[in-house]
Structure 1
Amino acid sequence: MASQQPAFAGSDFSVPMSVEQITRMAQDYEYNPMIPLRYWLRSAASLLKEASIYENEGHDEQAYLLLFRHAQLVLVHLADHPEAKQPNNRKALIQAEKDVRQNLKKLEILKPRINKRYERYSQLMKERQSRKSTPTALDDTIPSRSQRPPDPALTGVPQPLEAGENRELAVRLAQKELDRRATVRNASRQISTPEDQGRRTTGVGDSPGQGVDRSSRRADDDIARRIQEVRMNIDEWPVDRPRSTRSDHVQSTIRRPSAQSAQSTYKYPSVPKHRQADVQAPPTEPQQFDNGPSAPPQRPPKETVHQAHPTVPDLSPPPRPDKVSSPPPLPEKGMPVADASPSQSDLNPSTFTFKPSAYLENGTPLRTVFLPPTLRTRFLSLAYDNTRRNLETCGILCGTLISNALFISKLLIPEQESTSDTCETVNESAVFDYCDSEDLMMLGWIHTHPTQTCFMSSRDLHTHSGYQVMLPESIAIVCAPSKDPDWGVFRLTDPPGLKSVLSCTQTGLFHPHAETNIYTDALRPGHVFEAKGLEFEVVDLRPRK
């Protein structure tokens, strides 16, 4: 597989990393306790979904990073979140801690494989240096601050692919992999029992009324004891301050690691004992933003689905999706008609890896997002009646991760209430239930401006911040059918855009922000590429008229 190639081509993309280096990178993210806990819980669930895909494709380093980040986020930060004691959030946190227990075993399996590759690389570099006339010390594989940080998803990949030059290959790869996953998912549903299905849908959307049985608690205690035994043989993992003092600093934005901790060894976060969920208190609505001077804004009317809604999953089947396919791509001029690309049987996600197509302003790599070119036209046809009546329409862009790229494969139209300037999602839990049942990631959203130009309004910015705080690659497509240009693909800058919007306390449909560089085009140039032939399905959750 790609991550196990022995050849090191000297490129930053192919340099193996040690577990300690990956661990430091896993802690290097910004955590803001003023962001509602439901956002962070969805982020944690997304980390696990991505880690599973990377692990299956043989990208051990990236899988390790995501699993460790999930453990650190849940056990160090979310346990001390201001909303952690709410009954519905306690239930979700208990489930997240159970996930960490299981994932720590995976980390122990991945660790020796990663270190073996790194030690082999280090030995080769030492031998190479010894042959030089002026030996130099082996440099750390993490570059200086003036350079972009390494990408663990590309570790050991001799020749990562450029998205713009391999769109046809990407389409073929996605079609085969999406078909394979659908087959596995359908087969799993056929052999599972209703009780099994209920257990698989637990987590963020659990009902607080569900208790934890004794056998489950005994199994968790056994796992915890085994983890403690393993942990005794691991060096101490650095945490900036003791748990008892971290709660005194929950109002500040925390970023790890510091320069001092970069020289330290590590240890997995301690897994707390399993707590009994509070089954007496009724479920509460997700807490809204406060309007205090340091709190993020209240939820805007146009805000679409990007919150975890702690309700019992709706087990009713979703509407039958309509499959839409773009026309097959025509041969490029000067190119032979014969297809010299890999055959369909050779298309394996572990064989191909797409490199980042762009970077955030802070240097974080952005994975490629492949967008079906006909999705926008199909969405406008579904929104036609609303557009004619000067009402906005919104949809959710869903998809999955394949070969270190994100493929939009579903256009989900939620139940919604619209005005000429706003679009608010109704029954958000139905959207999350559907995405969970289909193993989908929410990659962004699309909406219309019936009479306005193609731009991101202040409400659009607040809506999109909820997506981008969970997934940096999230995009917002704006369609303005009566204007020129009539559409655009955008993301918030980071910095300053994302942080500015998250800290904004202004209300109202349209309000200014101090920064001028608050959002940018994600398509020209950017990390989004249209891919002719990429199929997608439309799922309309709106009530039938």
Structure 2
Amino acid sequence: MGAPLGVEDIVRQAGNYEYNVQIPLRYWLRTADTMQKEAQVYEAEGNDPQTYLLLYRHAQLVLSNLSRHPEKSIPENRKALNAATAAVQGDLQKLEVIKPRIAKRHAEYLARRRAQQKALEELEGKGTQFRTLPQELDGLSLSQAPTKRRSYERTALDAEDHQTLAAKLAQREVRRRDAARRSVRQAGVSEEEEHERRVGGMWGEWEKELRRESTEGDDLSTQIQEVARMQNGHQAPNFSRPTSIQPTSTSTSTSTYHYPSVPHKSAQERWSGSQDTASVPARPPKEQLRRPSDSTPRPPALPPKPPKPFTPSLPFENPRPPPIPGKYTDSSFTAPPIPGKYLDSNTPTPRASSPLAESPGLDEFNFKPSAYLENGTPLRTVFLPKELRHHFMSAASWNTRANLETCGILCGILKANALFITRLVIPEQTSTSDMCETVNEQELFDYCDKEELMVLGWIHTHPTQTCFMSSRDLHTHVGYQVMMPESIAIVCAPSKEPSWGCFRLTDPPGKQAILNCTQPGIFHPHSVNNIYTEALKPGHVVELANAPLEVLDMRPKK
């Protein structure tokens, strides 16, 4: 645990996936696109091993398997396959850059381990009581003082125990993306040009600079320090500032969506966000920006002489922009005990004596896997907003009263090795009492690509039936779970008890049985037992309070 893998180990893991030529090529193309998006997120977070694994797997999947798929000549598949093949060239270039870094870290790890083993043998030869090495090598030789934590030694947090931090992390990431988009638009870049830059790999450092100019501070780094203190035995923090749901106005569109299938083409895009930025404070960002061209000089380390002769100069400034030197003029005012956010920018901030506090950034921890597939593959945590079902049932209320099914798509982001559902999209659809269908689902996936969202599952109602996965539901969900093992299916049965459930296919045997099933009809039996299972805890799904959620209803207004 915590030991950096070598290149050979990562390559071996990258090839450990199940390729089935019977799965339609459109499913595989969407899977390849998802791999690239995940790799871009891990790359932005500085996770070289996971980035290398996903890029290598993507290149192997496209070049060795998809290029020989029986459906490669179908016109609607050919264009997407060509785009995936072109994206592999970028993969190979990144692999060459990342490979030396991985090899160097692995060599350093082996050298430290040999030094530790040698020192231990010397101690044992002198009759000491040391018998075994520590279970987790901390990157130190036995005679050295602690050094800076390496990227592969990030703290692994339990998702269930750190829900408040997870909610704050999701809120910050959503705000960061919004701020980055605003910066790009303010710079005069159109959506079409932005898309071309990302796909063509021409974004470079320009977006980072724009995002750095619009960076706003918040207290998340303090919370990370508190988590570090908790890891060392201190009391856990309690942050309870809520984030309200942000419903989006309904957009009328003539396009329809067809669910449950997967689109024929996939967008090969680059994600933005190579650095984590702080969240936007209450005041407008422009009040806090300080550019070299501004006429207002940067405030000095200490406030200027106050207007009242008896007012002392205090070693801090107003925490809200713009800076207002001399605001605290009451002589009876006493400075608070060194809260970091009140310190002057030139005053060094004391850090807690913990690895997280030494460099309080979002790349200092990951959420560890919270469950495993039946074949032993770890599943990343999926954070599900607690408010999501309420908003979905509200949008589906008219259909539910008319005994018609309603479906929605669960979209979200990847952050700190966890998946956050941040958007509920309700596509235009046709419904009956036993099923609902959408057409032109390519529009849905194009929307997700444009918004930098990943499809994490789906939700639908059973207006009069019980809460279960019908045979049609199972065939629907296998397409999602092929794209991403963590994908979930939520069933809402408002007239029954239980009124809802969160499910996934077993793997094996459920996923394989559905992929090989050719029986027609909405309802048909399957010979396999244990074909699907609960996904909520003790599964890999954790309900999250105060999580950011946006609802987009794409159906025509009635």
Give the TM-score normalised by structure 2.
0.67
Match of 1:130 among 118, 122, 141: 118
Give the aligned residue type for 1:185. Answer: R
Q: CA deviation at 1:202?
A: 7.1
Whole-angstrom CA distance in 1 between matches of 2:443 and 2:55: 27
Q: Does 1:304 align with 2:300?
A: no
Q: CA deviation at 1:111?
A: 0.7
Whole-angstrom CA distance in 2 between matches of 1:530 and 1:468: 20
Q: Does 1:75 align with 2:63?
A: yes
User: Which stretch shows the higher mean deviation, 380-389 or 181-190?
Assistant: 181-190
Q: Contact 1:464 / 1:476 at 8 angstroms: preserved in 2?
A: yes
Whole-angstrom CA distance in 1 between matches of 2:266 and 2:366: 37
Match of 2:172 among 173, 176, 193: 176
Q: Does 1:192 align with 2:189?
A: yes
Match of 1:364 among 377, 383, 389: 377
Q: Does 1:455 align with 2:468?
A: yes
Whole-angstrom CA distance in 1 between matches of 2:109 and 2:415: 27
Q: Does 1:111 align with 2:99?
A: yes
Superposition map of 1:435-446 within 5 A? 435-446=448-459
Q: Contact 1:37 / 1:83 at 8 angstroms: preserved in 2?
A: yes
Superposition map of 1:315-394 within 5 A? 348-394=361-407
Give the aligned residue type for 2:547. Answer: L
Deviations 1:436-466 (A, max 9, x none): 1100000000000001101111111100000
Give the aligned residue type for 2:162. Answer: N
Q: CA deviation at 1:86?
A: 1.9
Give the aligned residue type for 1:199. Answer: E
Give the match for residue 22 of structure 2. 34
Whole-angstrom CA distance in 1 between matches of 2:24 and 2:490: 25
Give the aligned residue type for 1:46. Answer: T
Q: Contact 1:17 / 1:155 at 8 angstroms: preserved in 2?
A: no
Match of 2:517 among 494, 497, 504: 504
Whole-angstrom CA distance in 2 between matches of 1:411 and 1:438: 13
Whole-angstrom CA distance in 1 between matches of 2:494 and 2:91: 47
Distance 1:311 1:523, change over 3 A: closer
Superposition map of 1:113-262 within 5 A? 113-133=101-121, 156-189=152-185, 191-193=188-190, 196-197=193-194, 199=196
Q: Does 1:20 align with 2:8?
A: yes
Give the match for residue 88 of structure 1. 76
Q: Contact 1:354 / 1:368 at 8 angstroms: preserved in 2?
A: yes
Q: SS where residue 31 of structure 1 aligns? A: coil
Whole-angstrom CA distance in 2 between matches of 1:198 and 1:114: 31
Give the aligned residue type for 1:121. Answer: Y
Q: Contact 1:303 / 1:462 at 8 angstroms: preserved in 2?
A: no
Distance 1:194 1:475, change over 3 A: closer
Deviations 1:331-365 (A, max 9, x none): xxxxxxx9x99999x87431220000000011111
> How many residue pairs are counted as aligned between the two chains?
398
Whole-angstrom CA distance in 2 between matches of 1:122 and 1:71: 29
Deviations 1:466-500 (A, max 9, x none): 00000000000000000000001000000001011
Give the aligned residue type for 1:174. Answer: A
Q: Contact 1:173 / 1:347 at 8 angstroms: preserved in 2?
A: no
User: Which stretch shows the higher mean deviation, 123-132 or 531-540?
Assistant: 123-132
Q: CA deviation at 1:429?
A: 2.0
Q: CA deviation at 1:158?
A: 4.6
User: Which stretch shows the higher mean deviation, 399-408 or 101-110?
Assistant: 101-110
Distance 1:202 1:542, change over 3 A: farther
CA RMSD of aligned residues (A): 3.2
Instruction: Please identify the structure whose Cα radius of gyration is greater.
Output: 2
Give the match for residue 533 of structure 1. 546
Deviations 1:243-297 (A, max 9, x none): xxxxxxxxxxxxxxxxxxxxxxxxxxxxxxxxxxxxxxxxxxxxxxxxxxxxxxx
Q: Contact 1:477 / 1:489 at 8 angstroms: preserved in 2?
A: yes
Q: Contact 2:27 / 2:483 at 8 angstroms: preserved in 1?
A: yes
Give the aligned residue type for 1:441. Answer: M
Q: CA deviation at 1:159?
A: 2.7
Q: Contact 1:373 / 1:530 at 8 angstroms: preserved in 2?
A: yes
Match of 2:442 among 417, 429, 440: 429
Give the match for residue 490 of structure 1. 503
Q: CA deviation at 1:184?
A: 1.4
Q: CA deviation at 1:533?
A: 0.4
Match of 1:417 among 425, 430, 434: 430
Q: Contact 1:18 / 1:114 at 8 angstroms: preserved in 2?
A: yes
Give the aligned residue type for 2:445. Answer: F
Q: SS where residue 118 of structure 1 aligns? A: helix
Q: Contact 2:408 / 2:459 at 8 angstroms: preserved in 1?
A: yes
Give the aligned residue type for 1:196. Answer: E
Q: Contact 1:415 / 1:543 at 8 angstroms: preserved in 2?
A: yes
Whole-angstrom CA distance in 2 between matches of 1:394 and 1:489: 14
Q: Contact 2:33 / 2:267 at 8 angstroms: preserved in 1?
A: no
Give the TM-score normalised by structure 1.
0.68
Q: Contact 1:394 / 1:413 at 8 angstroms: preserved in 2?
A: yes
Q: Contact 2:30 / 2:266 at 8 angstroms: preserved in 1?
A: no
Whole-angstrom CA distance in 1 between matches of 2:86 and 2:94: 13
Q: Contact 1:357 / 1:527 at 8 angstroms: preserved in 2?
A: yes
Distance 1:193 1:173, change over 3 A: closer
Give the match for residue 213 of structure 1. none
Q: CA deviation at 1:98?
A: 1.4
Whole-angstrom CA distance in 2 between matches of 1:395 and 1:195: 27
Give the aligned residue type for 1:159. Answer: T
Superposition map of 1:270-285 within 5 A? none
Whole-angstrom CA distance in 1 between matches of 2:267 and 2:506: 36
Q: CA deviation at 1:525?
A: 1.4
Any stretches of 5+ residues in structure 1 without a counterpart?
A: 1-11, 142-153, 204-215, 220-301, 314-337
Whole-angstrom CA distance in 2 between matches of 1:198 and 1:169: 32
Whole-angstrom CA distance in 2 between matches of 1:469 and 1:311: 15
Whole-angstrom CA distance in 2 between matches of 1:155 and 1:359: 24
Q: CA deviation at 1:426?
A: 2.2
Q: CA deviation at 1:193?
A: 4.3
Give the match for residue 315 of structure 2. none
Whole-angstrom CA distance in 2 between matches of 1:407 and 1:109: 29
Whole-angstrom CA distance in 1 between matches of 2:198 and 2:531: 37
